[in-house]
């Protein structure tokens, strides 16, 4: 017994502990007839059908649904976070249907002829949120997860405390079943099993197990070829396939292995993974204990921080109260002193009114005729009257009634209080254009400010910019991402061929920084087409070198060139070495991006049909033949100067840091035959957009989404991305942008 087997036998996991692995992410109930999605997550059969129905009311009507035999009755609708994205898919499907209806002659694989209700074949996976497209076959293309179904059945039996399964053949009263026949799909007691499976008959060879309610077929059938058994495993798609899928189906060019080999490898990997998890049990317990300590410390430190913050604010309140008391006391003292002075002046003037008898007295003094007596009395009287007269001529209040000197300016203090925080306002981050790009999704990277204090998280905001002024109001709405704890994030659900603006800001201690300067990106004009280089079809291993992941190719000078050099006297007799993508295009609009190394001598990039590829492969060029002299016009890039619009291929010349636009280009941006207009600087990234139905191909500067060149191409048969290399050169395919999400097995 292996170490893994011994370990598993020692520490079996109780069936009741795996309940959360057996819950459907949509209905939140135990799986019923689970189906395996292309992303390897499982969903109930009925839940998938509900997601695919356009009319939400009809989708949950029990009378309008059909399910697998034995499927449970109707369930109530459970809200799902994916429903909002499903609504967007439904709206886009409706618009597509209307546009097809106007054209009249175009049909889409997503619709049935004569159907009134549009058919939805794509929905977001509730487990990983990636869009799942089931194609024309819909649910019928999915495998049923019999392994998970068996585990659920065992769990149900354990949950029912091993309720007995009764024999299906006994007459009342029924006996408890002891066996279940997987061929007859029935349960039997001992007597009934012997009676219905007598020795010496074919039924005696039937497979039987312990009593169960879960009967699954002995062999797994291919969903695409219903009469064929799956006997191989596709390593590219990571799913079982039959021999017809490998011979002429969608897995023709994929690497496959035998089912036994895949079973052995995957079982070994799973066993090692389980053994690793079991071996780390003590480590996990230690980490849980450490986390619990951290939780306690966090609680204590949080309470301490609250107490300290309250103390600081209480101290500020005390200082404010003290200053308030002192300032109010100063105002009160000044007010009291001024009132006393003004009231004294009032009393003085009031006394002047009360001394009106002084005038009469003075008049009586004027009647005195004795001069010496008059002088004696008039001198004092004149002094008193002069004093009163002088105060009337020079009237001035003894106190100022205004309190302008007591006006308090608290604007600076208010600003300081508003900016009061634990670590200060963080500086805004800067979006890094050299690392940010928009492909199938938007990858936005930024550089954090060089600050001594770390930020808590960043929030990215983006909005779609309107083309017309009427859309300006609608395009001003900013969408925010969830908090990002790092220097980059992936933005999904961007519309094709649209201009988006992005900005980001940091947060520290609930205080946000200013926004970064806005940057704009243009999304591709069509969905992303994913492929790798094909190392089987016409690949020259002597002249071309593929990377391990088949995402880059480099041309090298091989032995064939060296031997050909002995027969060459003058000129450079070199031919193009072609390589194509491993996936073809037979309908729709597709876009892909790649990079050509600046040191590359000559690289042809574009598309070619399968008929043209056969010509290239079966009629190889002789690099030493003068027929392909660069001056003869046979292989000198003459397709750049003259070509037939019906040709089933289009190749654009790139090399030596330049892009050569053909003379017959119909692009207005490159109109003219002079050399200056035809030679453009080579972009850092080149994009190719193929519209199969329109028979048109476009070449873009993928960084700015500026169209460099476009032309008609005869899309007959299957079109493949094609590349030709001459001399030293290297091409890198653009990798998909993927969001880092947690996945659970």
Q: Is the pLDDT of residue 429 over 50?
A: yes
Distance, CA of 582 to CA of 721 (rounded, Å)? 9
Q: Is 519 helix (H, G, I), strand (E, B) or coil?
A: strand
Maximum separation of any 2 CA atoms in the chain, in Å: 177
Higher pLDDT, 316 or 154: 316
Lowest mean pLDDT among 136-145, 275-284, 370-379, 646-655: 136-145
pLDDT of residue 641: 41
pLDDT of residue 659: 92
pLDDT of residue 698: 94
Maximum average pLDDT range among 190-194, 246-250, 331-335, 358-362: 331-335
Q: Quick check: bond before 173 cis, omega within 30?
A: yes
Distance, CA of 258 to CA of 241 (rounded, Å)? 10
Q: Which two structure tokens, joined as six digits, stand for 656?
A: 């030596």
Q: Is the pLDDT of residue 620 over 60?
A: no
| Residue showing tokens 């929030």 | 459
Q: Is the pLDDT of residue 294 over 80?
A: yes
Q: Is the pLDDT of residue 11 over 50?
A: no
Q: Is the pLDDT of residue 79 over 60?
A: no
Q: Which two structure tokens, joined as six digits, stand for 662?
A: 């053909």
Burial of 520 (0-12, 13-18, 19+ CB in 10 A): exposed
Q: Is the pLDDT of residue 607 over 90?
A: yes
The four Cα atoms 675, 678, 680, 682 give a dihedral, to 10 degrees, of -120
> Mean per-residue pLDDT for 35-56?
74
DSSP string, 286-353: HHHHHHHHHHHHHHHHHHHHHHHHHHHHHHHHHHHHHHHHHHHHHHHHHHHHHHHHHHHHHHHHHHHH
**Residue 49: which pLDDT band, with cuts at 50, 70 and 90?**
confident
Q: What is the mean pLDDT of the chain?
A: 75
Higher pLDDT, 106 or 256: 256
- How many CB atoms lie under 10 A from the CB of residue 606? 22
> Mean per-residue pLDDT for 120-147?
74
pLDDT of residue 17: 59
Distance, CA of 66 to CA of 85 (rounded, Å)? 24
Q: Is the pLDDT of residue 92 over 70?
A: no
| 534: phi then psi, degrees, rounded to nearest 5 | -90, 120
Q: Is the pLDDT of residue 179 over 60?
A: yes
Selection from 580, 591, 582, 616 nearest residue 697 by Cα: 591
pTM beyond 0.75, yes or no: no
Distance, CA of 605 to CA of 597 (rounded, Å)? 13
**Residue 719: which pLDDT band, with cuts at 50, 70 and 90?**
very high
> Mean per-residue pLDDT for 436-445?
87
> Mean per-residue pLDDT for 308-337?
91
How confident is the model over 636-692, as pLDDT tens digits? 444 444 444 456 788 889 988 899 888 755 444 444 445 557 889 999 999 999 999
> Mean per-residue pLDDT for 366-390?
79
Burial of 578 (0-12, 13-18, 19+ CB in 10 A): buried
Selection from 645, 641, 607 nearest residue 724 by Cα: 607
Distance, CA of 707 to CA of 525 (rounded, Å)? 11
Q: Is the pLDDT of residue 110 over 50?
A: no
Distance, CA of 271 to CA of 265 (rounded, Å)? 10
> Mean per-residue pLDDT for 618-630?
48
> Mean per-residue pLDDT for 299-325?
89
Q: Is the pLDDT of residue 315 over 60?
A: yes
Burial of 556 (0-12, 13-18, 19+ CB in 10 A): middle
Q: Is 59 helix (H, G, I), strand (E, B) or coil?
A: helix
Distance, CA of 53 to CA of 63 (rounded, Å)? 14
| Residue showing tokens 């094609």 | 722
Maximum average pLDDT range among 142-151, 562-571, 607-616, 719-728: 719-728
């Amino acid at each position: 017994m292996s170490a893994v087997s011994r370990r598993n036998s020692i520490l079996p996991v109780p069936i009741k502990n795996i309940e959360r692995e057996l819950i459907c992410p949509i209905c939140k109930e135990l799986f019923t007839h689970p189906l395996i999605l292309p992303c390897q997550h499982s969903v109930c059969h009925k839940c998938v059908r509900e997601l695919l129905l356009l009319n939400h009311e009809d989708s949950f009507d029990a009378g309008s649904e059909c399910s697998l035999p034995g499927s449970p009755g109707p369930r109530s609708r459970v809200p799902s976070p994916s429903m909002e994205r499903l609504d967007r898919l439904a709206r886009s499907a409706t618009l597509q249907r209307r546009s097809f209806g106007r054209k009249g002659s175009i049909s889409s694989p997503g619709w049935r002829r004569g159907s009134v209700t549009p058919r939805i074949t794509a929905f977001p996976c509730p487990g990983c949120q990636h869009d799942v497209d089931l194609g024309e076959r819909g649910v019928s293309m999915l495998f049923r997860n019999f392994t998970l179904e068996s585990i659920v059945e065992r769990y149900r039996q354990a949950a029912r405390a091993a309720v007995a399964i009764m024999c299906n053949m006994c007459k009342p009263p029924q006996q408890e079943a002891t066996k279940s026949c997987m061929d007859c799909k029935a349960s039997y007691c001992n007597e009934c099993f012997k009676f219905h499976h007598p020795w010496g008959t074919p039924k005696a060879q039937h497979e039987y197990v312990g009593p169960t309610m879960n009967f699954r077929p002995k062999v797994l059938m291919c969903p695409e070829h219903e009469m064929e058994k799956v006997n191989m495993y596709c390593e590219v798609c990571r799913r079982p396939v039959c021999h017809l899928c490998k011979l002429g189906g969608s897995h023709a060019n994929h690497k496959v292995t035998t089912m036994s080999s895949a079973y052995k490898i995957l079982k070994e990997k799973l066993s090692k993974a389980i053994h690793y998890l079991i071996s780390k049990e003590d480590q996990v317990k230690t980490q849980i204990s450490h986390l619990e300590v951290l939780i306690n410390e966090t609680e204590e430190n949080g309470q301490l921080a609250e107490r300290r913050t309250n103390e600081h604010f209480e101290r500020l309140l005390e200082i404010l109260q003290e200053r308030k008391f002192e300032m109010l006391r100063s105002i009160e003292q000044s007010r009291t002193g001024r009132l006393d002075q003004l009231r004294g002046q009032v009393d003085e003037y009031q006394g002047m009114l009360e001394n009106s008898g002084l005038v009469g007295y003075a008049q009586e003094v004027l009647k005195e005729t004795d001069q010496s007596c008059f002088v004696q009395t008039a001198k004092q009287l004149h002094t008193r009257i002069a004093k009163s007269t002088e105060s009337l001529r020079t009237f001035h209040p003894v106190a100022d009634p205004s309190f302008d000197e007591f006006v308090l300016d608290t604007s600076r203090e208010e600003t300081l209080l508003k900016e009061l925080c634990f670590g200060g306002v963080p500086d805004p981050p800067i979006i890094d254009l050299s690392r940010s790009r928009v492909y199938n999704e938007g990858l936005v990277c930024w550089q954090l400010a060089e600050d001594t204090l770390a930020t808590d998280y960043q929030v990215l905001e983006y909005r779609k910019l309107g083309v017309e002024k009427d859309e300006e109001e609608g395009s001003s709405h900013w969408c925010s991402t969830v908090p990002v704890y790092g220097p980059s994030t992936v933005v999904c659900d961007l519309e094709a061929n649209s201009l988006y603006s992005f900005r980001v800001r940091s947060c520290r201690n609930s205080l946000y920084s200013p926004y970064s300067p806005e940057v704009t990106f243009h999304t591709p004009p069509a969905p992303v087409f994913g492929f790798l280089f094909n190392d089987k079809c016409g690949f020259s291993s002597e002249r071309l070198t593929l990377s391990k992941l088949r995402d880059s190719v480099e041309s090298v000078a091989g032995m064939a060139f060296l031997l050909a050099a002995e027969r060459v006297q003058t000129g450079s007799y070199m031919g193009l070495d072609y390589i194509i993508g491993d996936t073809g295009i037979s309908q729709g609009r597709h876009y892909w991006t790649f990079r050509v190394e600046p040191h590359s001598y000559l690289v042809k990039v574009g598309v070619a049909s399968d008929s043209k590829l056969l010509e290239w492969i079966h009629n190889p060029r002789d690099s030493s033949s003068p027929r392909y002299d660069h001056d003869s016009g046979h292989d000198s890039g003459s397709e750049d100067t003259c070509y037939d619009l019906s040709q089933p291929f289009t190749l654009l010349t790139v090399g030596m840091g330049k892009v050569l636009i053909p003379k017959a280009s119909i692009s207005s941006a490159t109109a003219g035959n002079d050399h200056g207009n035809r030679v453009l600087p080579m972009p850092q990234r080149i994009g190719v957009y193929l519209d199969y139905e329109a028979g048109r191909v476009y070449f873009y500067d993928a960084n700015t989404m500026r169209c460099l060149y476009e032309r008609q191409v005869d899309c007959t048969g299957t079109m493949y991305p094609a590349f030709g290399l001459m001399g030293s050169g290297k091409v890198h395919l653009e990798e998909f942008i993927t969001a880092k999400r947690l996945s659970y097995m």
